[in-house]
A and B are shown apart, each in its own frame.
Chain A
Amino acid sequence: MSGVLHTLNLYQKPKLGSGFLTRYPVFGYKHRILAMGGFDTASCQLAVDRKVGEQAIEQWIGNRVAVYAQNAAIPIWEGLISRIIWKSGAAVFTASIDEMFNKVRVTYSQRNATPNTQLTTPVSNTTSQGIFGIKEGNIDSYGNNSTSADITAKTTLANRYLATRAYPKVSTAFGSSSANDLLSVEMVGFYKTLEWETLDPGALAGAATPSAWFGFWFVTAGASRFSNLATFFDNTDQTQIATNATFNYIPASGQTYWNNVIAATDPGDGTNRYVAAMTPTDPNTGTRRLYYQPANTAVEYTLSTRRDVGRVRTVYGAPVPPWEVRPDRSVRVMDVLTGWNLTGDDPREFYTEAVNYDAESQTVSLQSADNIELEGALQLDNYLKPIGTRFGPAPRTVY
């Protein structure tokens, strides 16, 4: 028969090495891949016994995972485990890295300081950092009109957060037992780790081209610099950072590195869209790299509304396995508006911003800029979010 078993390979946490641990077939597997970012999120369930369920809650948060299907050389998705949900009878245990912070600082405003927006010296739990890598929390605190800042109070606040959030948090709930109690695993892509650190522009002043910033931000170690370095990707590998000298960019203080990557990428080169994302692990080098390059607008996929509905095909007509469909390329619908040739965007073609794959139904949805899902409505992939007729957050001030 034609099914292709999907399996999840579990590895150590990247900070502790990349040693292989074990492998499981996955159930209910879904993934999402973005043109801007790469592997975004994935989820699945594993059929494990109680012993493994307990081990997962205790040890798997932050571990590296890779999901394989047909091609043993390249995973269809990879990233880190961000959340484990384990149902044991009527009890549901959830462990997650989402609310963990092992480096905390406070942002506050002070009338008589220059600049007005100040950051406290961060406090760290180096033991947690040695296990999970650095994951920063930034507390937006209140400002004051005094000439002297209440640094002690703010540092104490940061220390309190650190003390209670330096490790993955666990919560429990109780409900009715289900006949299908599997271990649920939620995963995030490696690019999300660029949201774990806040860029401190104090160490990097002035303006530079976007291409130059990628080197400044990630390659050089030092105080107030990018600190996760080579933990999650090869920070020194700049071979896929394209040259774009069409404008100068000034980093946003107090924003994450990823927000700054988005901000530097958004303008493109004034004509062409640019994207930035994390590559899959290179089977030749065993490393990942960050890339910044013009978006690939070439039509590489075709769809049909009447023949083999729902299947993505190449431009030559060969089916593309749904688990291998990727964003950052254009799609053409072949059997509508045949012969169309008016001005404006061709309605038969669209650039794929995001791909959602569901293994159980073997379906894949391709989303363009008109993303009708929640992430699209909230415009989470854009740095500047204008108020429009659709629901969206209020505009933010870039500072």
Chain B
Amino acid sequence: MAPLAEPNIITLEIVCGVPRAPGDPYTNEPELQVINLLNVRGFAVQYPDGWTPQFPSMKNGGLWADSALAAGRQLIAGEFGNVTETMTLTASSATIANRLYLKSQLLAFARRAKTFHTDWNEQQPVYLKWHAPDAPCPQYALIYNIDVAEENDAFDVQPVDIMVITIEREPAWRMGVPPGGNPIEWTYFSRNMQRGVDYQYDDMQLDSTASLVTGTANNRHEWTYNAGNPVVAASSKNYVEIPADRIPGDAPALVCAAIRWTGSTPLRRLLMWQSSKELSGVDQIAGTPMASGYIMNAVDMGGGGTPTAGAAATGVNNTAAGPTKQYMGIGLGGLGSVITLTSGDNAGSLNFWWRQLARGRFAVYVRARQTAGAAGDVRLKVTAEEISGPGTFNAAQVVGQFVNIPVTTNVGDYAFVYAGQFTVPFEAKSHVGIDGRGLFLKKYVVNGAIDFRFTFRFENFNAAARTVHMLDAIIVPMDEAFAEFRYDTFTSSAAEQIIVMDNTGYLSRGKPDDIVMRNENSTFNDLFPTNTMEQRGNMPTLLPRTAQRLYFLNAKGGAGSEIISRPNDDMTISVNIVPRCYGVAAL
């Protein structure tokens, strides 16, 4: 439900501090300090010369590749820089003492704005708050610097002072939630809930079931069997969907994602990635729907429950009658024995992938385990191929490196095996056909030929026979956002943990930064503080007005020092956002 537009409020303030949670009887947050810039008896920005809001522009004009030998030039990279706002303030208080006090307060805010970014002791952000005429909500921007210039002579006895202030602020405005503010307040605002009336301090947990988007992310992705045809319906999925209408604004939204995890051992690895690419399309031959995901498996892993073997490596596991099967058992003979599994092959042991649906730059993982021996006895090599003909395949190929398959103690405990990175399609961002119909997506299958495939080659480098259990293959698109979070520094027997990944600034007191924290035992989640986790890569920001998905996969402590992943270790996901805009906020 779209929030009601606020009554005709116009606000322009410089604020220092983080808002208190409404109704909190024992808050440690100090009162907000505010300078009102629309106070005709104090400071006022007055039309027509007061303030013209600026938009951000590319820093230094962007980074370009240019050559006298080539026509035009190519944009390599470009990010928005901070925005410089210039305001003319008129201080027209009746008494000189009052005007002097206001100027002194302004200069104090200028100092605090700088020290928030440079000194450890200052923990209160300074930001601009602007509620434009007819805007649905106030908008905020973190301030980096304020310069103040006096326009009047020191001995001018006129009762009006004019100052020009120059404010350097962050490139995008935050809609509805100030820097350091709790992003769940945007969620409540979007539901027309009033602060302090409809929600209070004890409704503000980051993993609240009232979050903007909630759902369960399975630790697997299964498909409903479709009689050997391309799958179309997921029976489990490792992502939550963010509808387009939940992300207003015109700048990428900041994200706070919380994961509630139930497990007997602590979560040690969490992969999180973002994708706005389409997951399904229409077969251009017959018009039937086709779907694809980022996890390739034998379609049905039996709900991720009891780990029992599927049929032999090249057999078919994706049958309607196979709900109790989970992994593919790969039995290798002695030294030099090789077994390959291929996506979308004639036996249909693994679901299909197409270049247009599975497009992007990917980190490829395989969840697999070796049942005995030592890591490195069996090695895996992944090959990506683009196919342009049936029968003897005409394939363009990219070959990865051999990686070791770890040994794990227990059946059903799979290791995350990183197998390299690939770009699909090989040549461009999208797969366009020479049939002249634009984006190419055809279900033509002859002798298992399908326009793109991964081959997983398992080879035994040991004299003794070896067995591998392969659960699935995961392609993680890293071209939108891909982050890994790790926690290795202790052991825990807590039944539940909460992990919060935040780039809204709530956990960093407003500083633009990625922070990830965890604590144990959700029974006490509001009684115990959190510990930081290691983050590799960058957290996502959500594209405005675009449907997208946030994906999750986890691994935990296994027997001994193993780090293993089980397909039935589901996660409860709660997502809140701070939408952003470059101009005036609009829903």
Contact = CB atoms under 8 A, between A and B. Distances in A.
Q: Do A and B come together as binding partners?
A: yes
Interface of A: 1-5, 7, 9, 19-20, 23, 49-51, 66, 68-75, 239, 282-285, 305-311, 314, 316-318, 361-362
Contacts of A305: 67, 69
A53 to B, nearest CB: 11
What is the interface residue range for chain B against chain A? Answer: 35 or more
Given A70-B478, A318-B428, A7 B76 contact: no
Given A2-B78, A71-B421, A71-B482, A311 B65 contact: yes
Given A72-B363, A361-B63, A284 B406 contact: yes
A316 B426 contact: yes
B75 A2 contact: yes
Contact of B427 (A20, A283, A318, A362): A318
Given A1-B79, A2-B78, A282-B418, 12 more contacts: A3-B79, A71-B482, A72-B482, A72-B484, A73-B421, A284-B416, A308-B74, A309-B67, A311-B76, A318-B426, A318-B427, A362-B63
Interface of B: 58, 63, 65-67, 69-70, 74-80, 118-120, 271, 361, 363, 365, 375-376, 396, 398, 403-404, 406, 415-418, 421, 423, 425-428, 476, 478-479, 482-484, 486, 488-489, 514, 534-538
A353 B62 CA distance: 31
Contacts of B118: 49
A5 B78 CA distance: 12
Given A284-B406, A305-B69, A309-B65, A72 B78 contact: no
Nearest to A316: B426
A282 B65 CA distance: 34
Contact of A72 (B80, B271, B425): B271
Given A1-B79, A285-B404, A70 B537 contact: yes
Given A73-B418, A318-B428, A9 B403 contact: no
A72 B362 CA distance: 11
B537 A72 contact: yes
Given A285-B375, A285-B404, A70 B482 contact: yes
Query: Interface on chain A toward B: helix, strand, loop, or mixed SS?
Result: loop
Contacts of A318: 423, 425-428
B120 A5 contact: no
A290 to B, nearest CB: 15
B77 A2 contact: yes
A73 B484 contact: yes
With a 10 A CB-CB cut-off, give which of A19, A68, A69, A73 has the most chain B CB atoms: A73
11 contacts: A1-B80, A19-B488, A20-B488, A49-B118, A73-B363, A284-B415, A285-B375, A307-B70, A309-B67, A316-B427, A318-B423
A310 B69 CA distance: 12
B418 A283 contact: yes
Contacts of A239: 376, 404
B195 to A, nearest CB: 33
B397 to A, nearest CB: 10
A5 B540 CA distance: 12
B403 A284 contact: yes
Contacts of A362: 63, 76-77
